[in-house]
Amino acid sequence: MIRLSIEGRQVEAPANCSILQAFVHGGETLVEGVGCMGQGVCGSCRVMVRRSGDPEVRTALACETLVEDGMQVAFVDYFTEPQRHVYRTDDLGDSWDVLGTISEVFPEASHCRHCSGCDRACPKGLEVQRGVNLAVEGELARSSRVFDECVMCNLCTLACPEHIRPNHLGLFVRRMIAAYSLRPANLMRRLQQIERGDMTIDFDAPGARAPR
């Protein structure tokens, strides 16, 4: 059994547990949706982690980070920015206007200080700053690849002194590409499955429930 601290409480859990599974194993109740456990959207289990013997506090996702003996964990609350970026993909217009559109919807993106705070905050290790810069330059395809594995945890937004909200910029870029091009066949098939009600959640799948 592994002993660690979660939210100031000492917890014991099997060594093969993720932080999230250890949290449930310790008798706590999940109060937010957790996509990887079939209850909501990804990115809601962002945590700050300090490992035994490591003076640094690092960001991580509780669903994919295995527990370690002596680990200290604190969940990062969700937050909502006072101002949101509002746009409609139907109104994007011609692809020749990409640079102007990004500048209009995300004007703060061009103010990047190149401090790399977003890179250090990203629990997936994405080159967030590079993705932002590529978007500003109009390199949509290259920018979208940077954000392919983004889970919208918002930690990059928390770290950005210019309030750029890089993850939302990445989502906007990917939506722009979809609006300007043919939809992928696999995506169309998946949407049809959802509309027909064929998509179901398997609560007995490996990792869907905390180990006992």
22 lies in the same domain as 54: yes
Q: Are residues 100 and 62 in the same domain?
A: no
Would you say residue 166 has pLDDT above 60?
yes
141 domain residue, yes or no: yes
Domain boundary among the residues 75, 98, 124 is at: 75
Task: Answer whether residue 189 is part of any domain.
Answer: no
For 105, phi then psi, to 5°, come to: -80, -40
What CATH number is given to the structural domain containing 65? 3.10.20.30
- Structural domain including 35 reads 2-75
Handedness of CA 204, 40, 166, 87 (dihedral sign): positive
Mean of pLDDT values over 13-25:
88
pTM of the entire predicted model? 0.73
Residues 68 and 101 in one domain: no
Average pLDDT over residues 42-50: 84
Is the confidence at residue 41, as pLDDT, over 80? no
Examine the domain organization and report whether 95 and 174 are in the same domain: yes
Give 142: exposed, middle or buried? Use CB within 10 Å, 0-12, 13-18, 19+: middle
In a domain, 34, yes or no: yes
Provide the pairing of β-strand 58-61 with 72-75.
unpaired
Residues 17 and 70 in one domain: yes
Please compute the mean of the pLDDT values over residues 117-132 and round it to a whole number.
94
Instruction: Flag whether 29 is in a domain.
Output: yes
